Structure 1
Amino acid sequence: MLLSPPHQSPNPIWDEQRWIIYIRQALDYEDDLDQESHIPVSIFNVPKTLMRTSPESYVPQLVALGPYHHSRPELYEMEMYKLSTAKRSQKASPGLKLHNLVDQLSRAEHRFRASYHKFLNLNGETLAWMMAVDSCFLLDFLQRKSGSPALNSGRKLGLHDALLRDIVKLENQVPLFSLKKTLEFMSGSSDGADDSSLYVMAVGLCRDSSPLMIQESNDVDQINKSAHLLEFLYNLIFPRFHESFEITLDDDEQGPDKAKTGPFSFIKSLVLSKPVTIILTLPWKLISNLPGILMLKQVEYFCFSRNTEGQNDNNNNSDHIGHLLMEEIAIPSVTELSNAGIEFVRTDKGISGIDFDKETATFHLPSLSVDVNTEVVMRNLVAYEACGDTLLPLIFTRYTELMNGIIDSEEDAKLLREKGIVLNYLKSDQDVADLWNGMSMSIRMTKVPFLDRVIEDVNRYYNGRWKVRIGKLVRRYVFGSWQSITLMAASMLLFFVSLQSFCTLFGCGRLFFHRARMIQ
């Protein structure tokens, strides 16, 4: 067995001797090193930018699995339960002892170390025992999805949810090949038949935890293609390879031969044409350029510019800071889209089924189950996706950004629930809105062509509606210039008061009456 790298020790001389032994053995075990170099890192530390947003969503709260949080004292209580689970597994396999499993796992020490992004400050024997005990616990949990058999009380469901949340966390993952080796050890066979049972158990866990519909392919070999349970869940939500997410060309890009024609297309092109836009905005431009309005704008500038200059600087600074902390997709909310005539329809194709039909103004979104586990599951899926292959688009992250953009209020969540898109198992629709409003998080640029195309189509349709255009013009030229309107109203009031005073002094009524008699 290849000796593990030296770690901190009270005796530095012993560390130097251990390092020399490690180097000598590493040169002799060339096959192991070659094999280790081809094992991709799959269990990462959550980036600090994500960890700061919600630490409890990434750090295990009840049980530690794997080496990252093994030494946390507040999680020691579950260590005794994990040990009792390992004892039950040993009793269920007559003639086999747990140390025999440890010996088998010790031979794969290089695979364990290569799977973790962080350097493991553990010796090989400690690491092997940790993996054996944690694998026994995980298999027991997968076989008993309803909860822990040791605590049959009213807290059973709550304990199951708490364990489930810890099991799906990125930093709490155990390599799946460890579960496979443990299952083979417990069944006493290594002919691959256990892959099917492990696949069935893992799919059961994904059904319990996934907020989106999973795509079961009945491909048992898929369990061998996934490094850990969180990656297996990610691969079931949508294919690992993104070729299936292709952009469908719209009518304009298909060319004149395939472009759709008809009265609707003609009316739509007429409404969106530049002459109509000019005609719509021309009256406001003429009014805003009248001599009296221009004079009022100059007075407004001298009266209000000094007071607002400092405020604008502060607002710009706060906007810049907010932009750095959270960048939200520029898309109207569900309520605004619904008021503009857009209909929301549920799709059964998952994230790949997100689409916007411009002809019928129909926005297709996948059904989403929201419960007490949803936020933790989604955050760790985003963290895994962000830490994985940097060449692949962040599809799940972009989806969370899209939902964050369209859900702003309780009314937005209510509308999606009534359409069957959001299956709410929380206390209220406001809880759903609060969950999504905190989900905008990304550590690098998030560009997904087919989702970006949908967002662009929705915005183009929304901004082209007459109701929306008129509302924007009113907000821009009427409510947007409230200071000018206030100044105009004050000027008119002053004019009429002055006129009334003049008429009181010089008898405007008598002059007007005398002038009328002369005309007659």
Structure 2
Amino acid sequence: MLLSPPHQSPNPNPIWDEQRWIIFIRQALDHEDDLDQESHIPVSIFNVPKSLMRTSPESYVPQLVALGPYHHSRPELYEMEMHKLSTAKRSQKASPGLKLHNLVDQLSRAEHMFRASYHKFLNLNGETLAWMMAVDSCFLLDFFQRKAGNPTLNSGRKTGLHDAILRDIVMLENQIPLFSLKKTLEFITGSTEGADYCLYAMAVGLCRDSSPLMIQESNDVDQINKSAHLLEFLYNLILPRFHESFKTALDDEEESPNKAVPAKTSPFSLIKRLVLSKPVTIILTLPWKIISNLPGILMLKQVEYYCFSRNTEDQNNNNNNNDNSHLLMDEIAIPSVTELSNAGIEFARTEKGIPGIDFDKETATFHLPSLSVDVNSEVVMRNLVAYEACGDASRPLIITRYTELMNGIIDSEEDARILRERGIVWNYLKSDQDVADLWNGMSRSIRMTKVPFLDRVIEDVNSYYNGRWKVRIGKFVRMYVFGSWQSITLMAASMLLFFVSLQSFCTLFGCGRLFFRRTRTY
């Protein structure tokens, strides 16, 4: 648990903060068993890094309902407190002979476990924290049960209020520990045996409803005890046991027959290697290099630079400086979906989720997981990225790298349309342009995102794309023809001026007669 200095608390009274801090330290030291238990509870509920918060604050800050202590004191969220209180009353009525005070007493014994789960120092007394967890847990369980018992919500026709609550529930700063939900469910049902299974079924239903990516349901009820909160549970369903599964996938890929046994060399591949070899490339580009280094051409290049390129270069430098002030990571260097499709690359859906992302060189097929895009997708993806970045520093940022990949290949409405027609993107927004805008705004990260198996796929796609003759010819034309159009224009204008001047000179001094006389006398 992270203990912040008292002056970092939002309470304006520093003396009161110091007293509360001293009381908390004394209580923590007096309960050695709780302190030992607390040391085994990793911090799991973080504040979103400021670098991510600046890009889209509304994606990380709850707009309707506050869960947990981080946003509990925001006045604009007080309206939902009465609704949360009514759900707590219904939960109390559902448990004859029991009062909510009994649940609060049970949760009070786990005060140190609650505090250890949060990264920020909680300037709340134990009773306030226990009541907060009890009321919020009752609200979440009531929301899950209403969703499970409402066929309208299960059929996909969700209401605006349902979507708004769902967005707030999956936010990183709006999480509460799952053991609070488990204790509350045991209190309501009066049984501890079926609480895990019931909570697992509810949580899976929530993840199935909110996840843009396919989740891997394994019917392992113990997963609910291995996850600290709902967002982590969703992450684990999208990437089940990534430390083991992804390492195994990488080992299998390295030991596959395609990697170990070289493919048979065909005559076409030999011709292709010969044409693309370095000597042939030098022979093809040497004449242009010789011509471009002639004295007259070099002079024209200098004139072009000072006349045309200086302003453009200065403008680009200014734009880059402005962009670098808020961009932390560059976009992945990979062609867009349209460019890849025009180069002969096909797109197909994989049923294995993110681990199934692959590029088949033999068939030129790019396999991508299915993606459901609706009004909640951006918030869910952003908070998954934030959770992944705030967790274990040794953990590969797989979802972050996936969002960077999608941001790299989706640039326009046409890119989103192609993926939708291939069955990869299920678009529930108004248009394909909305899908493109969503992914184009999600290229932020707080540290390097190197994921070996995804980087290998990106490298294979780029290698295949750059090796296509159509692409190579297009790059050559853009570089040496369209890229130097200003030099060609300047050269044409200079030649036109030269011939006009020559014509005027010959008109005045009779160049034809002089040339004719010299020829006859000779």
| TM score, norm. by length of structure 1 | 0.90
Closer, same or farther: CA 271–251 of 1 in aligned 2, 3 Å = farther
Distance 1:238 1:492 in 2: 65
Q: What percentage of aligned pairs have identical amino acids?
A: 83
2:171 is the alignment partner of 1:160: no
- The equivalent position to 1:140 in structure 2, one of 136, 139, 142, is 142
Closer, same or farther: CA 451–88 of 1 in aligned 2, 3 Å = same
2:222 is the alignment partner of 1:224: no
Kindly state the Cα deviation for residue 483 of structure 1 after the two structures are TM-superposed: 2.7
Closer, same or farther: CA 278–249 of 1 in aligned 2, 3 Å = farther
| 2:147 match: secondary structure | coil
- The equivalent position to 1:280 in structure 2, one of 280, 284, 290, is 284
Distance 1:501 1:22 in 2: 98
Distance 1:460 1:309 in 2: 34
Distance 1:13 1:342 in 2: 65
Q: Which residue of 1 aligns with 2:130?
A: 128
Q: Which residue of 1 aligns with 2:270?
A: 266
Q: Which residue of 1 aligns with 2:199?
A: 198
Q: Which residue of 2 aligns with 1:81?
A: 83
Conservation of the 8 A alpha-carbon contact between 1:147 and 1:157: no
2:441 is the alignment partner of 1:438: yes
Deviations 1:432-465, CA, capped at 9 Å, x for gaps: 1110110001011111011111111111111122
Q: How is 1:310-389 mapped onto 2 (pairs within 5 angstroms)? A: 311-323=312-324, 325-326=326-327, 327-389=330-392
Distance 1:147 1:65 in 2: 23
Distance 1:328 1:14 in 2: 45
2:461 is the alignment partner of 1:458: yes
Closer, same or farther: CA 160–147 of 1 in aligned 2, 3 Å = farther
Kindly state the Cα deviation for residue 320 of structure 1 after the two structures are TM-superposed: 4.0
| 1:145 match: secondary structure | helix
Q: Which residue of 1 aligns with 2:191?
A: 189
Closer, same or farther: CA 249–496 of 1 in aligned 2, 3 Å = farther
Q: How is 1:368-517 mapped onto 2 (pairs within 5 angstroms)? A: 368-505=371-508
Distance 2:298 2:14 in 1: 84
Kindly state the Cα deviation for residue 156 of structure 1 after the two structures are TM-superposed: 6.6
2:294 is the alignment partner of 1:293: no
Closer, same or farther: CA 501–133 of 1 in aligned 2, 3 Å = same
- The equivalent position to 1:72 in structure 2, one of 48, 71, 74, is 74
2:85 is the alignment partner of 1:63: no
Q: Which moved more, 1:232-241 or 1:80-89?
A: 232-241
* Backbone CA RMSD of aligned residues: 3.0
Deviations 1:113-163, CA, capped at 9 Å, x for gaps: 0001111111100110110010001001111227999x9xxx971110000
Conservation of the 8 A alpha-carbon contact between 1:147 and 1:156: no
| 2:348 match: secondary structure | strand
Distance 2:184 2:421 in 1: 46
Closer, same or farther: CA 275–117 of 1 in aligned 2, 3 Å = same
Q: Which residue of 1 aligns with 2:234?
A: 233
Kindly state the Cα deviation for residue 189 of structure 1 after the two structures are TM-superposed: 1.4
Number of corresponding residues:
505
Distance 1:178 1:405 in 2: 40
Kindly state the Cα deviation for residue 430 of structure 1 after the two structures are TM-superposed: 0.6
Distance 2:147 2:17 in 1: 47
The letter of the residue matching 1:64 is A
2:36 is the alignment partner of 1:37: no
| TM score, norm. by length of structure 2 | 0.89
Closer, same or farther: CA 411–500 of 1 in aligned 2, 3 Å = same
Unaligned runs of 5+ in 2: none
Conservation of the 8 A alpha-carbon contact between 1:146 and 1:157: no
Closer, same or farther: CA 177–288 of 1 in aligned 2, 3 Å = same
Closer, same or farther: CA 190–300 of 1 in aligned 2, 3 Å = closer
Distance 1:376 1:244 in 2: 27
The letter of the residue matching 2:159 is L
Distance 1:453 1:190 in 2: 47
2:119 is the alignment partner of 1:117: yes
Kindly state the Cα deviation for residue 284 of structure 1 after the two structures are TM-superposed: 2.1
